[in-house]
Chain A
Amino acid sequence: MKSTLTAMLSRQDFYTGLVTILVGVIGLLDIAYGNWRPGPGIGPHAFPQLAYIALVIAGLVIWIDVARGKSDERPDYLRVTLSTGVALVAIGMGMFWLAGKLGLGVSVLITLIGTSFLLTRDPLKHWQSTILVPVIASIVIWILFVWLINIPLPRGLLI
């Protein structure tokens, strides 16, 4: 018995199941005790409640699968991928912020050159792909979004 438990604890999906159940339970507690305004008919909480119940059940089934020895593998490159994700969110927001200061064209150019340098070994040697391509892409993007679509972003100092 104890060995099944330790086996379960070592499985990836034990934890995904746990998180799934937790989200469902917290949600159900929120509906039971949180500040939900009643609405006409079955009320605004009926559908979320159904979804939370589905989450709890799904989590339990994931656990049953784990107990049967069925689990997905631990992900590869977890840290690299997650930090890339965080970096992309930061770069994306940064680009957007910069667009309001320097203008869309410049901030896109900086973003593209910056990321190409990050992703290319010996970036200066491959200048066609790390500098020339970003310059062309920025011009095309500027023409499309500023000149043709005229998206409502604050115009920056430069273009």
Chain B
Amino acid sequence: MFLDAFADALLLAFSPEVIFFVAIGIAMGITLGAIPGLSGDMAIAILLPVVFVLEPAAALGLLTGIYKGGMFGGSISAISFGVPGTPGSAATAIDGYQAKLNGTPNKALNTALYSSVIGDSTSDLVLIFLALPLAIVALTFGPVEFFALYAFSLLLISALTKGKVAKGVAMAALGILLAMIGRDPVGGSVRLTFGIPELAGGLALIPVLVGIFAVSELIIQLGRAWLERAQRITAETEKRAESLLGDYDPAKDKLTFAEFRATWKATSIGTTMGTLVGALPGAGSSLAAFISYGLAQRFSRKPDEFGKGSLEGVAAAEAGNSATSGSTLIPLFAFGIPGSATAALFGAAFILMGMTPGPRLIYDHTDVIYALFLILIYANLINLVLSHFLLPLYSKIAMIQSRILLPIVCVLAILGTFAAGNSVIDVYVLLFAGLFGVVLRLYSFPLAPLILGFIVAPGAERALRQALLIGRGEWTSLLSSPIAIGLYATAAIMIITFTFILRERK
């Protein structure tokens, strides 16, 4: 029975049409993901009607391809321009862009690719073999446990601040405040909107993130390009202006095996955290990436290099966000609960094809689901091969002169952000967040804590208030769960140990 189904699934998954659609999907995903603001989710939403015209396996192949390609594509612009293409790749931008500035974009891109594929494949295997046990663990996460998780991730902020703890805390607080704008999720009253009715819905993640991280970076680079033009051009830069590429030497920029080997620890931390966080409904890939980044720095032999172009930083962040891609489907497969925007879209795709997400999915549609499992795995290989050919091209694009490239990237960021939510307000938020990000950068405020605060705050507030409502306002109810106590204890132990270790090193 199982073998029959598996043989059918093999035939389905490896039919030329399905492979073709997976490859098309990945190529589309990589390209769209590389455009700031556009993500795989948006492309999936637009292409959802293909389920009406394609066979289920081919349709799922196309959507899976877009999703996986988009996941990795975001890191291309994060590394190339310091402009995260998707929310998940914000953490990748921290070290990836520094690596590019050091003249090694190709090393960073390849590290991102390999760690992304490793994280993704592991997560897919967990989905296939461990979905049910992990889903049961995920269900034990209620408000009390979620609040502990969010508190734990906020504590990792100190890892993102690089010796500027005070400014980092200020930024995290600011991020929390930005996330509070709009309707109070519990009482329904409107707060902190400064009388602007359009803000009642709150600020969306993509414009804030792309604005703060990406547009601010673009403004600084544009300012530099303007200065270059305004000041007298020296003979050397004159010469550089004539060729499209700068003085970039691709030969010096190949990832060696030893360098790759050195990132394995970071990759495995990212893979583990990404898979676990991804399985929790509502936690999300950007949170997974930041947690992985923070932990990898804590456990790294060279924590000082983080933030200065560390390949370990790239590997941890990228493995962390990619490893959510398989496990985010776990609650969907196990209970029919969509745990993320992507899972909701896959759920909708299943429903539109007449398959109900949930535990019976695999029994009722064994061949299609096994085929999907096979596609999830081999799509990673296609991603690897396709990206291998595309990456040299992308690193060349990244080295094109800024005066030509920057305006195009800006236009793409604006249009991409608009398309992601079909919202004009998002565009204004994007532009003003960019301006705000510039001010923060100029006065040496670290941006990552702000984004982490912004990502964590809505969930943390909801979880805390839910926990207190359920626990009759007793604060002790926050310690009513062993998981929560475990998380608080781990955080405490980590802080204590690392303070001691850091002191000894000095």
Chain A positions within 8 Å of B, measured between CB atoms, are 12, 16, 20, 23-24, 27, 36-48, 50-52, 54-55, 57-59, 61-62, 65, 72-73, 75, 77-78, 80-86, 88-89, 92-93, 95-96, 104, 108, 111-112, 115-116, 118-121, 126, 129, 133-134, 137, 141, 145, 149, 151-153
Contacts and interface: CB of A to CB of B under 8 A. Distances in A.
Chain B at the A interface: SS class: helix
Name the 9 nearest CB pairs between A and B, nearest first: A39-B187, A44-B184, A58-B170, A61-B166, A72-B444, A84-B223, A54-B173, A119-B403, A75-B442
Contacts of A45: 191
B404 A149 contact: no
Contacts of B468: 41-42
B265 interface: no
A98 to B, nearest CB: 12
B269 to A, nearest CB: 28
Interface residues of chain A: helix, strand, loop or mixed (majority)? helix
Contacts of A119: 222, 225-226, 229, 403, 406-407
Most buried by B among A16, A24, A88: A88
Interface string B231-273: 0010000000100100000000000000000000000000000
28 contacts: A23-B174, A37-B187, A38-B187, A41-B186, A41-B465, A42-B473, A43-B187, A44-B191, A51-B174, A52-B177, A55-B174, A58-B169, A58-B170, A61-B169, A62-B166, A65-B166, A72-B444, A80-B223, A81-B438, A82-B438, A82-B442, A85-B223, A95-B411, A120-B229, A133-B404, A137-B408, A141-B412, A145-B415
A50 B151 CA distance: 13
Contacts of A151: 415, 418-419, 422
Interface residues of B, number: 71
Contacts of A82: 438-439, 442
Contact of B186 (A44, A65, A134): A44
B46 interface: yes
A137 B432 CA distance: 25
Contact of B220 (A36, A81, A86): A81
Contacts of A120: 229, 403
Contacts of B443: 12, 16, 72, 75
Contacts of B403: 116, 119-120, 129
A118 B226 CA distance: 8
B192 A48 contact: yes
Contact of B465 (A20, A42, A121, A145): A42
B157 to A, nearest CB: 11
Contacts of A57: 169
Q: Among A48, A62, A93, A133, which residue has the most Cβ atoms of chain B within 10 A?
A: A48
A44 B424 CA distance: 27
B469 A141 contact: no
A65 to B, nearest CB: 6
A80 B222 CA distance: 10
Nearest to A82: B438
A20 B443 CA distance: 12
B452 interface: no
Given A51-B174, A51-B176, A82-B439, A92 B427 contact: yes
A39 B229 contact: no
